Amino acid sequence: MSTFLQSIDYCMWMFVNDGYVTPFKIVNGVKNQVPFNEWSNEDRELAQLNAKCLNCFFCALKSEDYMRVSTCATGKEIWDRLCITYEGTSEVKQSRLNILLHDYELFRLKPSETISYMYTRFTQIVTSLHALCREISNSKKVNKILICLPSSYDAKITAITESKDLNVYSINNLLGSFIAYEQGVSQR
């Protein structure tokens, strides 16, 4: 959703992050909304951008999500409500992060699993960790793939580790090498 909003107008995504506040003035210590006819051109442009942001959300959401957020007045309110709905509170996120880190640490190629399918599972874990703000460097991913393979891959692992700089070797090249190796072995 962030990319979609940014592609329409980057300021919309800023509204989601920072929030939008309708123009107000403080009179005798009381916060009062400024009447529309007193809004500046900038106030009107910002209100229009907030309305576009709301419209983007409302059009993109399925009906049950729309019902959850239809009373929200800003993109930030919608985003925050959806985050709680789908990601949970900070305690839920931490629990999910712990589970994913555990899955990452114990990750192995399953018996009779192809390299491609293993990599799909691996990518799901890494992407989920990324969504929870836990980045894993390319070199750590490469090394993780190398150690998760069974001994039947030892010859290929040795060839790669001796011929490549694993600090800069791309995960895509590694994957390609193992898929080619797997295909060669299966043809014998």
* Domain chopping of the chain, boundaries: 2-87, 90-187
pLDDT grade, residue 184 (50/70/90)? confident
**Quick one: pLDDT at residue 76?**
95
For residues 14 and 106, the model is more confident at 106
**Quick one: pLDDT at residue 107?**
97
Phi, psi of 9 (to 5 degrees): -165, 120
- Determine whether 33 is exposed, middle or buried from the number of CB atoms within 10 Å of its CB (0-12, 13-18, 19+): exposed
Provide the whole-model pTM: 0.66
| Under 8 Å between Cβ of 28 and 21 | no
**Position 50 pLDDT exceeds 90:** yes
**Quick one: pLDDT at residue 93?**
86
